[in-house]
Structure 1
Amino acid sequence: MPNQNGKTKDRFKESLNCYPRALREFFRNDGLDVAASLSYFMVLAMFPGLLALISLLALAGASESGTKWIMELLEQSLGASGQSSGGDSQQLLDTAEQLLEGLASQAGGTFWTILAGSLGALWSTSGYVTAFSRALNRLYGAPEGRPQWKRRPQMFLITVLIMLVAVVTLVLVLASGSVARGIGNIFGLGDGFVLMLNIAKPPILLIMLLLVLALLYYFTPNVKPRKFRWFSPGTLTALVILGLSVFGFGIYVSQFASYSATYGTIGGVIILVLACWISNIALLLGASVDIEFIRLRQLRTGAQAVDDVLLPLRDDTLIAKQELAAYKDLVHAQEVRINHGGDPLEDMEMDPVSGPKRKTKLLPMGLVAVAAWTAGRLNGKRVLRRNSEESK
């Protein structure tokens, strides 16, 4: 009988080894630099995304309560250990409050006006999702095969889906008092629904974050995992890192940071970019963990997933076009070289160490060597014959 305890222990060790390997792969793929580039797109997408969120909340009648809840969440995050915010954190809160008030004032008008503005803002927000898909392709080692006309609408639909999940969840979380009681009366629960909703708010937020991460990890890269996972090691890892980052960053900003004293009003922008960078590091680390667990499952089935995971591509149309374009460029370069006096039979290759060098022609060099050897043998025989005749 096999030792089940030993087998379980080995599988547990194999799973734990995924985390240090994921960290090594993260740095091997220049994860810090990739997270920095994603921070640029996140900052560009943040304000249109907030505008779209507030506009959709306005359609649901929860715009005012939504902005108030966001401010309360920021105050709790930046006020470390229950202390009042000050310095850099207070400047960041003031900037956020002005921004939210300005966005709330723009999120008005008729239903169709708000809807059109929301769609336009969501299209701008989808730029971050598109950049995130490129980052995951790099972690997977997969080329991008989706044409631009196909990929951008897909990223836009993913952005819309994520925003709808956020809006529905926020409406449920913000529903209180008469609104929650009215929803409870519809289902025959009455005041009991208000109590249930208050208890369920933290799990609802947790599920919302996990769902958003799962949508990003599953749909954005140009590889197709076997099945969609709400709860995966990667999503849980990213959520834990995000939680620890928010806590640690709140303490840092409220107690140790001094950007406002050094940079003045631009200090809040620096803090915002730093927060985006830390958040993207957490997201990429979570994706790396998911990739390593996919690799582990494939290795356990005997698949050759030692270097890269073996997943089918969603689309390879762009790959074929890029290969054809590279071939055309090569042919054009050869034509230019030959037209300017280059040898048509001469081939060139690039040595990554010493630079360009001539490719060795084995056949011509072999023929020259054989001819030289034959001439040497004949000359040697001629010399021996002459010496023997002279000796006689």
Structure 2
Amino acid sequence: MVHMPGAGPVGPGRRGGLPAHDPLPRTWGDLHGHLWWYAVRRSVDGVLRLQCVDLAAALTFYAVLALVPAFMVVVDLVSFVGMDERTVDLILYVLTAVAPAGVANALAGPLRGFADSGLPPVTLVVVVLFTVTTASLYLGALARMLNRVYEVMEGRRLLVLPPLQYLTTLALVVAAALAAVLLIAGPAAVGAVGVLLGIPGTLLRVWNALRWPALVVVSLFAAMTVYRTAPNVRHEGTRWLVPGAVVAVGLGAVASWVLTVYAARAYVRLDLNYGTLSGIIVLLMWLWVCNLALIIGGVLNAELARARRLAAGLPAEDDQLTPPIDTRRSSAFSARRRSLVLEGRRHRTAGRR
């Protein structure tokens, strides 16, 4: 029989090992306002208790591994649409619009070197595979951190988890690359279509008005995909992942703006302290705040799951009680740990004789 913290074995009148309870709130309106406020306060406590600042720093390492290869994919994709000479400049322009200026400065050298290397098209396939592999390491680290947030152990089998993470990463990389290509090459393509339709100015104005909202939608989709697939948690409804995704994207945007203002005002001091590394320092700071925003969004989703169970009468005030997807690996790990504890106890008692 499967046991969960705070719950007894599966039996009559129980759901998945939990006591019989009222239905969970299905819509946002079904959850009372005081429970929303409780979830927010529990989220603040969770961010401090789990030391999410340090978790975001660990994620930054994996993000750096995947960042440059990801931009190489964008360079190749944009170059394929006939914009070789302007590719890097346009990428740096978009980066300047969404991230602090130091980020563009740090990536300018590697991107220009890659663009000038004249590598064959087959290289794109290799770079994409390498990017997906390094990015899947990032997703794996994020999954372990979200498992900690939900208070569950990773129980999915090795035959299931790595392929799932790889496919999820591939989908996210392709979506991000296409979004970047649309942002970079979109104005030229829209202008050409507008000329064919006889409305170049109107179509371009519509595109300029819609491309940033489209980027927000893509960012929300990416965050919700990560929250849905990364942790070993069985979610009840995708709509309950939206608040965390909105918080993650919103905090990331605000933090990027604050960091941009800080980097602009403290540029001389940064350059004096770090010299040519100042751009890399700003890049690392930007990745750190974005990862912190992503983790905070995950904490909010976890606390909303707790609040829904409290509304249904479940004893979730101490244990999360969110059902895991699989427990086979975690059960084996727990069995090994119990065996080691028993062995240690035998050593302790033998030493006292």
Distance 1:17 1:124 in 2: 37
**2:147 alignment partner in structure 1:** 137
Q: Render the CA deviation track for 1:261-292: whole Å, top value 9, x for unaligned.
A: 12322333222222222111111111111112
Mapping for residues 143-162 of structure 1, pairs under 5 Å: 143-162=153-172
Offset at residue 43 of structure 1 (A): 1.8
Distance 1:32 1:75 in 2: 25
Preserved contact between residue 227 and residue 241 of structure 2 (Cα < 8 Å): no
Preserved contact between residue 187 and residue 207 of structure 2 (Cα < 8 Å): no
Q: Render the CA deviation track for 1:205-240: whole Å, top value 9, x for unaligned.
A: 110111111111111111121122497111111122
Identify the match of residue 273 of structure 1 among 274, 281, 284. 284
Identify the match of residue 167 of structure 1 among 164, 171, 177. 177
Identify the match of residue 291 of structure 1 among 263, 285, 302. 302
Mapping for residues 1-392 of structure 1, pairs under 5 Å: 11-59=32-80, 67-76=88-97, 89=102, 93-105=104-116, 108-110=119-121, 112-176=122-186, 179-180=189-190, 191=200, 193-229=203-239, 232-257=242-267, 258-330=269-341
Preserved contact between residue 75 and residue 115 of structure 2 (Cα < 8 Å): yes
Q: Secondary structure at the match of 2:326?
A: coil
Offset at residue 259 of structure 1 (A): 2.4
Preserved contact between residue 78 and residue 181 of structure 2 (Cα < 8 Å): yes
Equivalent position amino acid for 2:43 in 1: A
Identity of aligned residues (%): 24
Greater alpha carbon shift after TM alignment, 130-139 vs 168-177: 168-177
List runs of 5+ in structure 1 lacking aligned partners: 1-7, 80-84, 344-392
Distance 1:72 1:220 in 2: 32
Distance 1:13 1:337, change over 3 A: closer
Distance 1:106 1:13 in 2: 59
Greater alpha carbon shift after TM alignment, 123-132 vs 145-154: 145-154
**2:11 alignment partner in structure 1:** none
Greater alpha carbon shift after TM alignment, 293-302 vs 216-225: 293-302
Preserved contact between residue 58 and residue 107 of structure 1 (Cα < 8 Å): no
Preserved contact between residue 217 and residue 287 of structure 1 (Cα < 8 Å): yes
Distance 1:230 1:54 in 2: 36
What's the TM-score, normalizing by structure 2?
0.79
Distance 1:75 1:179, change over 3 A: closer
Distance 1:54 1:93, change over 3 A: closer
Distance 2:213 2:229 in 1: 24
Distance 1:64 1:217 in 2: 38
Distance 1:337 1:105 in 2: 66
Distance 1:9 1:116 in 2: 49
Greater alpha carbon shift after TM alignment, 318-327 vs 236-245: 318-327
Distance 1:53 1:123, change over 3 A: farther
List runs of 5+ in structure 2 lacking aligned partners: 1-28
Equivalent position amino acid for 2:57 in 1: A
Distance 1:61 1:318, change over 3 A: farther
Distance 2:153 2:181 in 1: 39
What's the TM-score, normalizing by structure 1?
0.72
Distance 1:11 1:324, change over 3 A: closer
Preserved contact between residue 211 and residue 230 of structure 1 (Cα < 8 Å): no
Q: Secondary structure at the match of 2:32?
A: helix
Query: What is the aligned length?
Result: 323
Q: Render the CA deviation track for 1:107-139: whole Å, top value 9, x for unaligned.
A: 8413x4321331122211221111111111111
Distance 1:256 1:182, change over 3 A: closer
Distance 1:341 1:295, change over 3 A: closer
Distance 1:243 1:323 in 2: 41
Distance 2:87 2:134 in 1: 21
Equivalent position amino acid for 2:66 in 1: A
Offset at residue 328 of structure 1 (A): 4.5
Distance 1:78 1:256, change over 3 A: farther
